Amino acid sequence: MSKQIKKVTIEDIAMYAGVSTATVSRALSDSTSIKESTKLRIIEIANEHKYAVNHSAKLLSRQKSNTIALFLPIFTYNLPNSAPIASDPFFLKVFSGILSQVGKLDKELLVSNFENKKNAKLVQAVRSKKADGIIIYGGDANDWANDPIVDDEFPVVFWGGSRSNPFHWLASDEILGGEIAAEALIDAGCKNLAYIGGNDTAFEAQGRLTGFKQYIEKQGMTLKESNISFEHYFPHSGFNQMNRLLESDPTIDGVFASADVLALSAMNAIQNKGLRIPEDIKIVGFDDIDGAAVNNPSLTTISQDGFEAGKALVNRIIDIVEDRPITAKHECLGLKLIKRNSC
């Protein structure tokens, strides 16, 4: 006979925290009548013992806030590899789509940020009635696997993730995107290819590199390790990376940049060296931001529809909240090559 696991009670949480059950109840209800430090300590203890997960689910089943929360990672200027999502042209399209769909469905949107998965703001949003569900943008879903803060009992959807994680996520097909870029460059006659990425830990940068390498190898070619570069998503990063790559290998004739902001600044670096685009070096970007079409030369890029992505994120959260049938937790949105003058 298997041993039955004792269910944690509010009395247990009160004992662990050294407070009364009334104080625990007020803390988990996000009451303003107790100190913030006490509230956060109780929430953390409840989270560790998985008490508040079930409590939150019961609250959600009884009453909905009609609010969706959007959480973004904190940007810190003293971290050289971080970049402000709020200034990312693709995110602005996603955000516009989120706002549009929230308004269409007569919902409210709560926007906040998180520093890591233990961030108190995120914990409070999950444990209280502040939001019916949460969209997390800019955090890798894999980092949250088996974490008690977000699980199947609370509606959460991520933008981006891998097929191995247990959460709901929507994303572009990063591997397919890399394959499309490689095909475009090789079909245009490129023989010595290079890759410019953002953060080397970012799922999208790694996924696009994977697809890029796969297609190159299928054609019997090789992407040299010295021609692979990562830095961050600041625009000047593309300029810096392109300069380094050309100093290491002046014979590079084709480049895939994993974001248009990197591609556009890489093009400046190429032209500053007296090289011509596309005659000497061809380049493909990713995102199809507004500046891609008006640049000189215009940028060939892979389009992912950020506005539709934002709408889809809201629709997925509503589907989860309303317990509607969902065919798959993971959904890859469509991509399309936009041919312009750079390739």
pLDDT tens-digit map of 1-43? 444 456 778 888 888 888 887 788 777 766 666 787 888 888 8
Q: What is the sign, positive or negative, of the torsion defined by CA atoms of 160, 162, 167, 168? A: positive
243 to 57, 80, 177, 237, 265: CA distances (angstroms)? 53, 19, 24, 10, 10
Is residue 68 assigned to a domain?
A: no
**pLDDT of amino acid 298:** 97
Query: Does the bond joining 278 to the residue before it have cis omega, within 30 degrees of 0?
Result: yes
**pLDDT of amino acid 235:** 80
**pLDDT of amino acid 232:** 82
Average pLDDT, the chain: 83
CATH code for the domain in which residue 221 is found: 3.40.50.2300
Q: Which among 49, 65, 83 is the end of a domain?
A: 49
286 to 7, 59, 195, 257, 332: CA distances (angstroms)? 49, 42, 12, 7, 15
**pLDDT of amino acid 59:** 43
3-class secondary structure, 158 = strand
Is residue 180 assigned to a domain?
A: yes
Domain range for 23 is 1-49
Rounded to the nearest 10°, the torsion over CA 45, 51, 57, 63 is -70
- As a three-state string, the secondary structure of 63-110 is CCCCEEEEEEECCCCCCCCCCCHHHCHHHHHHHHHHHHHHHHCCCEEE
Instruction: Round to whole Å and give the CA distance between 141 and 283.
Output: 30
Higher pLDDT, 61 or 159: 159
Is residue 341 assigned to a domain?
A: no
Question: In 3D, which of 299, 153, 178 has the Cα closest to residue 228?
Answer: 178
CB 114 within 8 A of CB 121: yes
Q: Which among 49, 69, 89 is the end of a domain?
A: 49
C-alpha 153 chain-centroid distance: 22
Q: Is the pTM for the entire model greater than 0.85?
A: no
Instruction: Round to whole Å and give the CA distance between 114 and 69.
Output: 12
pLDDT in tens, 244-300: 999 999 999 999 999 999 999 999 999 999 999 999 999 999 999 989 999 999 999
CATH code for the domain in which residue 1 is found: 1.10.260.40
297 to 41, 185, 225, 245: CA distances (angstroms)? 56, 16, 28, 21
Other beta carbons less than 10 A from residue 189's beta carbon: 11
Q: Which among 13, 31, 49 is the end of a domain?
A: 49
Is residue 41 assigned to a domain?
A: yes
pLDDT in tens, 180-197: 999 999 999 999 999 999
Beta strands in the chain (DSSP E): 67-73, 108-114, 133-137, 156-159, 168-172, 193-197, 228-230, 254-257, 282-287, 300-303, 330-333, 336-338
Is residue 69 assigned to a domain?
A: no
Instruction: Round to whole Å and give the CA distance between 328 and 116.
Output: 27
Q: What share of the chain is helix, strand, coil (3-state, %, to 5)?
A: 45, 15, 40
Is residue 141 assigned to a domain?
A: no
Overall number of domains in the chain = 2
Lowest mean pLDDT among 115-124, 144-153, 243-252, 312-321: 144-153
Q: Give the confidence band of 94 by pLDDT, cuts at 50, 70, 90.
A: very high
**pLDDT of amino acid 96:** 94
Instruction: Round to whole Å and give the CA distance between 109 and 67.
Output: 6
Is residue 70 assigned to a domain?
A: no
Is residue 230 assigned to a domain?
A: yes
Q: Give the confidence band of 220 by pLDDT, cuts at 50, 70, 90.
A: very high
